[in-house]
Structure 1
Amino acid sequence: MFNKINSTLLLFSICFLSCKEAKKENTIQNQEIEISLKKSYNGDFLIGTALNTGQIKEVDAKQTTLITKEFNAITPENDLKWEQIHPEKDTYNFEVSDAYVAFGKKNNMHVVGHTLLWHSQLAPWVNEIKNKDTLVNQITKHINTIAGRYKGKIDSWDVVNEALNEDGTPRESIFYKLFGDESYLELAFKLAAKAAPDAELVYNDYNLWKPAKREGVIRVVKNLQAKGIKIDGVGMQAHWSIEGPSIEDIENSIIAYSDLGVKVMFTELDVTALPNPWELDGAAVEQSYERYEGDPKMDPYVDGLTEEAKQKIAKRYEDIFNLFLKHKDKISRVTFWGVNDGQSWLNDWPINGRTNYPLLFGRDNKPKEVYNNVIALKNKAK
C-alpha cells in the first residue's frame, strides 16, 4: 500500500513538473510571437508601411498577417494618386481606395492618404489644362470629392507632394506654371482642411535633410501659418543609402521643422546598399538610367547580400533609429516604403531590374537580421 502511494505521488510530481515546463515553454513562445515593431515602439511613434494593391485586397494571407502584426499605420503606394483614383475628368475609381480605408479601420490602424496634389502620376487629362481657372476648378473638385469621401476615415493626408527643387525653390510643375506662384499650396491646404477637418495635413517631400531644401520647406510652412492655413506636419521621405545622408543633417531638419510647431514624420523609409549613377540626385520617379541596365557593377547582390553589406545596412538602420528615439518627442510616425524587399520600388529605380534589399523583411516575408537589430535598440533603451 505504501509503495502504491509513493508511486502515485511520484507520478503526480512528474506530471506537475512536466505541465509546469510545458506552460513555461508556451509562455516563452507566446512572448516571442508577440514581439513586433509596433509593440516595441509603442508610445514612441507609429510604425507604418506602404501597401500595394494586392496587399490592400488581402490576396496573400501570410502578408496580411505580417502587416497586421508589425504595423499600426498604412500608406497606399499608388492607389490614391490622381492617375489611379481620378483617371478621367468625371470618372473616379474608388474600389481599391475604399478597400484600403476599410483594411485600416478593420485593423485599428492610422490611415494615411497619399497624395492629394502631386505633379507626377497625374492623369493625362490634367496635363492638358491650359488656364488657371480651369485648374483651380479641377483641383477643388478633386480634393472635395476624395478628401470629402473619406472624412473621418483617413487620419492623415499628404496634401501636397514634392513641390520644391533641391535648392528649395518652387518646382515648375503644371500647378506652379498656371498659378504663377506657390499659391496652389494654399488652395490645396485650405480645401483639405475644409473637406477633412479632423485629418492631420502634411507637406511631403524627399531630401528634406538638405539645408537649402530645408529652408524652402520652412518658407512654405511659415507662409501657410502666417495666413492662418492649417498645416500639421512635414513628411520627410527617407529614401536613403548606407552612405548618406549624415545623421547630423537629418537631425538638424528634425529640429528645424519641429521648431515650426508641426509634427515630423518619416514617410517613406528604405535603405539601399546598391550603387547608383553618380549624377543621381533625389528620388524623383521619372529619373531612369537605361544605359546601366544589366551592368553587374550596378547590381552586385543578385544572389544575396554579402556579410559586409548586411552589417553596413544593419549599422545604418541602428544609427537611424537611435536618432528617431532621441527625438521621439518630435516624431509622430515612421513608415517603411514597402512591406518586403521583393515589393520595393528600388528594385526598378533608378535602374530597372535590379535586386535590392532595403527593408526589414525579405522576399519570403520573414524578418531579416536587421529587423532584430531594430527591435533590440528599443529593448536597450528601456
Structure 2
Amino acid sequence: MADARTPGWSRRAVLAGVGAAPLMGFAPGREAVKGDGSLKDHAGRAGMQYGAAVRASLLAEQPDYRAAVTRECNIVTPELELKWAWLEPQRGQLSFTSADAIASFAAATGKAMHGAALLWHLSIAPWAAEALADQPDWMIVRRFLASVIPRYGEVTHTWDVINEPMDMGHRMDGLRPSPYLAAFGPDYIRRALEDARLYAPRAKLFINEFGLDYDFPVERDKRYLLLKLLEGLKTSGAPIDGLGMQAHLELAKQAHFDPKVLAQFFDDVGSLGLEIRISELDVKEANGTLATAERDARVADAVRRYLDVAMANRAVGSITTWGLSDRCSWLDSPGGKAGPNRGLPLDAALRPKPMYHAISEAYALRGG
C-alpha cells in the first residue's frame, strides 16, 4: 500500500529495474512505421495509433498474450487498474502495483498508456461515494486526481477524465445521476477537467461515452445532448481536447446503423476542434450458433462499416479495441456450441480474424 505521497511513476526508474519486463526488441519512444504488418505498423504508417485494453494479471501470467500486445499495440489502456475503486478501496490507502506494472510494460516496449478512467459512476470508491453524499467536498476528488495523474505523466499523454456522463430519461440536459452530479451539480465536469489540466498540463483530456453509434431515438437524443455539453465546455473555456467514442457495436442493432448519421456526428464534434478517439471498439454477437466463418464475417462487416465512416474524418486520431483477444473479452458468450463471443481482432489462440484485417484496411484508408 502507498499513500498519496508515494513518488510518481518514472520511466527512467522502470527501465533501470526492468529485469522482470524485458525490452522485447523495442526502443522506448521510437515508433516503427514499417514492419511485419501488425496493427501497430499499419497505424504508424497512417500517422495514427492502435491500442487495446489490457490487464496487468494477464501481462504477467500469459507470455503469449504479452507478446501479442507487444507486437500489435502502440498504446495500452488499463482495463481496471486506474479506476478509483481499484486504486483506493480504503480511504487514504492507495495501491499502484497493478497500474505501475502496466506503465512498466508500456515503457519497456515503447508504448504510451492511456489513462482510463478517472471519474466514472461505476468505479467510484464506495467510501468516496458515501463521503460525498454526507458532505460535498471537492477536495476528496482533487486529492484522488492529484495522487494519480502526475504519477504517470511520463507515459500517459491522454486521459479519460469523465467516463459516461450521459444517460437519457433523467434530466433535460441528459446528464447521468451519479455521486458527482448529486454532490456538485453539472459543474463537476468542468472542475474535473480543470484539475486534470493542472496536474497534466500537456496531456490531452477526453470525455468518454457509449451509445452513440445507431439511429435509435435514445441514441439520437444522446448525441444531441452530448454535443450541447461539449459546445458548452468549449464556450466556457474548459480544457477539453476530445471525445472518446466507445463503439461497443452490437450485431442485433446493425439494421439501425446509418453511415450518414454517424458521419454527421463526427463532423459536428470535429467542428468544435475536438479530437475523436475510437476508444473501446468491440462487437457483441447476436447468434453464436452460426458457423465460425459466418460469425467472423458478420463481426468484420460491422467493424468495416463503422471504420469506413470514422476514417473519413480527420478528427479521428486513434483506434483502441476493448481487449485484443476473444480469450479475455468482457462480452458474454452469445450461446451455442461455437465458443465465446468473437468480437475482438484475435481469437482465443491469438490468431488474427477477419476483424483484424478490417482494422488494418481502415488504416490503409489513411495511407497505412
**Fold-level match, TM-score > 0.5?**
yes
Q: 2:205 is matched with which residue?
A: 201
Q: 1:51 is matched with which residue?
A: 54
- Relative to 1, partners in 2 of residues 1:365 and 1:135: Cα closer, same or farther, differing over 3 Å? farther
Query: SS of the counterpart of 1:333?
Result: strand
Question: TM-score if structure 2 supplies the norm length?
Answer: 0.80
Q: 2:109 is matched with which residue?
A: 107
1:55, distance to aligned residue in structure 2 (A) = 3.3
In the alignment, which of 270, 284, 302 is matched to residue 316 of structure 1? 302
Summarize deviations over 1:119-146 as a string: whole Å, max 9, x none. Answer: 1022211221255854411101000111
1:374, distance to aligned residue in structure 2 (A) = 3.7
1:112, distance to aligned residue in structure 2 (A) = 0.5
Query: How many Å separate the matches in 2 of 1:248 and 1:135?
Result: 44
Query: SS of the counterpart of 1:172?
Result: coil
In the alignment, which of 335, 346, 350 is matched to residue 361 of structure 1? 346
Query: How many Å separate the matches in 2 of 1:306 and 1:62?
Result: 23
Query: How many Å separate the matches in 2 of 1:233 and 1:360?
Result: 25
Summarize deviations over 1:76-106 as a string: whole Å, max 9, x none. Answer: 1101111101111111011111111121122
Query: 2:197 aligned with 1:188, yes or no?
Result: no
Question: TM-score if structure 1 supplies the norm length?
Answer: 0.77
Query: How many Å separate the matches in 2 of 1:370 and 1:158?
Result: 25
CA RMSD of aligned residues (A): 2.4
- Relative to 1, partners in 2 of residues 1:198 and 1:305: Cα closer, same or farther, differing over 3 Å? farther
Query: How many Å separate the matches in 1 of 2:61 and 2:140?
Result: 34
Query: SS of the counterpart of 1:99?
Result: helix
1:176, distance to aligned residue in structure 2 (A) = 0.8
In the alignment, which of 314, 323, 328 is matched to residue 343 of structure 1? 328
Query: 2:99 aligned with 1:97, yes or no?
Result: yes
Q: 2:121 is matched with which residue?
A: 119
Whether the aligned pair in 2 keeps the contact of 1:151 and 1:197 (CA below 8 Å) is no
- Equivalent position amino acid for 1:153 in 2: V
Query: How many Å separate the matches in 1 of 2:232 and 2:355?
Result: 41
Query: SS of the counterpart of 2:131?
Result: coil
Query: SS of the counterpart of 1:129?
Result: helix
1:195, distance to aligned residue in structure 2 (A) = 0.7
Query: SS of the counterpart of 2:128?
Result: helix
Query: How many Å separate the matches in 2 of 1:345 and 1:85?
Result: 20
Whether the aligned pair in 1 keeps the contact of 2:296 and 2:353 (CA below 8 Å) is no
Q: 1:253 is matched with which residue?
A: 265
Q: 1:178 is matched with which residue?
A: 183
Query: How many Å separate the matches in 2 of 1:348 and 1:139?
Result: 37
Whether the aligned pair in 1 keeps the contact of 2:117 and 2:163 (CA below 8 Å) is yes
1:160, distance to aligned residue in structure 2 (A) = 0.5
Query: 2:245 aligned with 1:240, yes or no?
Result: no
Query: How many Å separate the matches in 2 of 1:174 and 1:380?
Result: 42
Query: How many Å separate the matches in 2 of 1:85 and 1:348?
Result: 29
- Equivalent position amino acid for 2:278 in 1: F
- Relative to 1, partners in 2 of residues 1:378 and 1:177: Cα closer, same or farther, differing over 3 Å? closer
- Relative to 1, partners in 2 of residues 1:128 and 1:163: Cα closer, same or farther, differing over 3 Å? same
1:379, distance to aligned residue in structure 2 (A) = 5.2
- Relative to 1, partners in 2 of residues 1:60 and 1:237: Cα closer, same or farther, differing over 3 Å? same
The answer for unaligned runs of 5 or more in structure 1 is 1-31, 276-299
Alignment of 1:191-230 (within 5 A): 191-209=195-213, 210-230=219-239
Query: How many Å separate the matches in 1 of 2:333 and 2:197?
Result: 36
1:33, distance to aligned residue in structure 2 (A) = 7.3
Query: How many Å separate the matches in 1 of 2:86 and 2:291?
Result: 35
- Equivalent position amino acid for 2:328 in 1: Q
Whether the aligned pair in 1 keeps the contact of 2:77 and 2:114 (CA below 8 Å) is yes
Query: How many Å separate the matches in 2 of 1:205 and 1:131?
Result: 24
Query: How many Å separate the matches in 2 of 1:347 and 1:129?
Result: 34
- Relative to 1, partners in 2 of residues 1:227 and 1:70: Cα closer, same or farther, differing over 3 Å? same
- Equivalent position amino acid for 1:249 in 2: V
In the alignment, which of 259, 263, 274 is matched to residue 275 of structure 2? 263
Q: Which runs of 4+ in 1 moved over 4 A?
A: 130-134, 376-382
Whether the aligned pair in 2 keeps the contact of 1:38 and 1:46 (CA below 8 Å) is yes
- Relative to 1, partners in 2 of residues 1:215 and 1:373: Cα closer, same or farther, differing over 3 Å? closer
Q: 1:23 is matched with which residue?
A: none
Query: How many Å separate the matches in 2 of 1:376 and 1:222?
Result: 33
Larger Rg: 1
Query: SS of the counterpart of 1:165?
Result: coil
Query: How many Å separate the matches in 2 of 1:65 and 1:96?
Result: 18
- Equivalent position amino acid for 1:212 in 2: D
Whether the aligned pair in 2 keeps the contact of 1:236 and 1:267 (CA below 8 Å) is yes
The answer for unaligned runs of 5 or more in structure 2 is 1-33, 214-218
Query: How many Å separate the matches in 2 of 1:370 and 1:166?
Result: 31
Query: SS of the counterpart of 2:278?
Result: strand
1:65, distance to aligned residue in structure 2 (A) = 1.4
- Equivalent position amino acid for 2:91 in 1: K
- Relative to 1, partners in 2 of residues 1:141 and 1:378: Cα closer, same or farther, differing over 3 Å? closer
Summarize deviations over 1:255-287 as a string: whole Å, max 9, x none. Answer: 111111110011000012226xxxxxxxxxxxx
Query: How many Å separate the matches in 2 of 1:223 and 1:62?
Result: 46
Identity of aligned residues (%): 25
Q: 1:24 is matched with which residue?
A: none
Query: How many Å separate the matches in 2 of 1:174 and 1:232?
Result: 24
